[in-house]
Amino acid sequence: MPLPPLAALVPSPVYGALAAWHRANASSAGRVAVAYSGGADSTALLVEQARWTVVHGGPNLTPLWALHVHHGLQDAADAFVDHCRATCAEMSQQVQTRLCVAHARVQRTAGASIEAQAREARYDALAGLARENLIDTVLLAQHADDQAETLLIALGRGAGMAGLAGMAPTFCHGGVRFVRPMLDVAAPAVRHWLINAQLPFLDDPSNRDERHTRNRLRHRVMPVLERALPDFRATFARTARLAHQAQQLLDELAVEDLGRVGDPPAIRALQGLSPDRQANLLRCWLKRRHAAIGSEAQMLALVGVVRRCMTRGHGIHIKVGQGYVERDGERLTYRPFL
């Protein structure tokens, strides 16, 4: 199906959010690409990035970059690539569009979430494509509904402030900057705009599989929330932003405390802090230095044993994540499992 002229389309809710991001990051965005799956959300993002490119490109119009990841996890993956190629070829009639495709390798580990592993493989593949093509910023199409689902999943797991912060508006992975400009945009509005504009997009059949928590929330819980709390997308997004701000303050405090206590932490200096600040510092140290994240029970046990460590012969051996926090003289150390 031929694409309608971009200039003739009524701007979608995505365009306002995307334009605001571009204006705020004009000097730092560099070369920008869209992570394009062919689904509704990334299609809207790609089209509106194309519109931005046409409107603001001037005489030296830069190409529109689209990055697609072939997971190989379902039979329809090859058809997804064909659809994306066809759409980008149609779009090239109006703005030069370059589609780059990578195959992601999902390392299936026993006991680990296949969704989490696929997500990590996807970001690895997107970062690889970005580096190969000298792309500085990759735009992701997660929206307000995705953020609300993330917040509900975090609540269901009893997550702390970092979990309640949901998906960050921007992050780095593999040396590449990733941005989510659509976190305040409602998914139904995006789909409604695409249908009215007669823009083709894919429906991923895996999104109907309710064995996955996110899909169960999407099909069973979100419609109920829509009826009970019509503004839940905006309020959940605000909660995530406030939690993100609070977590940043906690991280800043942890870095300041770590500067005084030392890295690795000195036990005596650590004992001079309140238990809550000890836990905050230790979480930061373990995550940043050792990529280790402990449960609430593990962190309580660690803070408790540090508090009782008053003699030279008092040992420390507490499991945290995939290793142990131990005593090494007058300081703490972390030893991963062998």
pLDDT-derived band at 6 (thresholds 50, 70, 90) equals: confident
Check whether 8 has a pLDDT greater than 90. Answer: no
At 278-290, the pLDDT tens digits run 999 999 999 999 9
At 300-330, the pLDDT tens digits run 999 999 999 989 889 999 999 999 999 999 9
- pLDDT higher at 338 or 53: 53
pTM: 0.90
SS (H, E, C) the chain: CCCCCHHHCCCCHHHHHHHHHHHHCCCCCCCEEEECCCEHHHHHHHHHHHHHHHHHCCCCCCCEEEEEEECCCCCCHHHHHHHHHHHHHHHCCCCCEEEEEEECCCCCCCCCCHHHHHHHHHHHHHHHHHHHCCCCEEECCCCHHHHHHHHHHHHHCCCCHHHHCCCCCEEEECCEEEECCCCCCCHHHHHHHHHHHCCCCECCHHHHCCCCHHHHHHHHHHHHHHHHCCCHHHHHHHHHHHHHHHHHHHHHHHHHHHHHHCCCCEHHHHHCCCHHHHHHHHHHHHHHHHCCCCCHHHHHHHHHHHHHCCCCCCCCEEEECCEEEEEECCEEEEEECC
CATH homologous superfamily, domain 6-234: HUPs (3.40.50.620)
Check whether 110 has a pLDDT greater than 70. Answer: no
At 212-260, the pLDDT tens digits run 889 999 999 999 999 999 999 999 999 999 999 999 999 999 999 999 9
- pLDDT higher at 107 or 7: 7
CATH 3.40.50.620 segments of the chain: 6-234
Q: Tell me, what's the pLDDT at 7?
A: 79
- How large a percentage of the chain has pLDDT more than 70? 95
Enumerate residues 6+ apart whose C-beta is below 8 A from 154: 163, 164, 166
What is the average pLDDT score of the chain?
A: 91
pLDDT-derived band at 109 (thresholds 50, 70, 90) equals: low
Q: Tell me, what's the pLDDT at 240?
A: 95
Q: Kindly state the average pLDDT of the residues 144-171.
A: 94
Q: Tell me, what's the pLDDT at 85?
A: 96
At 182-201, the pLDDT tens digits run 999 999 999 999 999 999 99
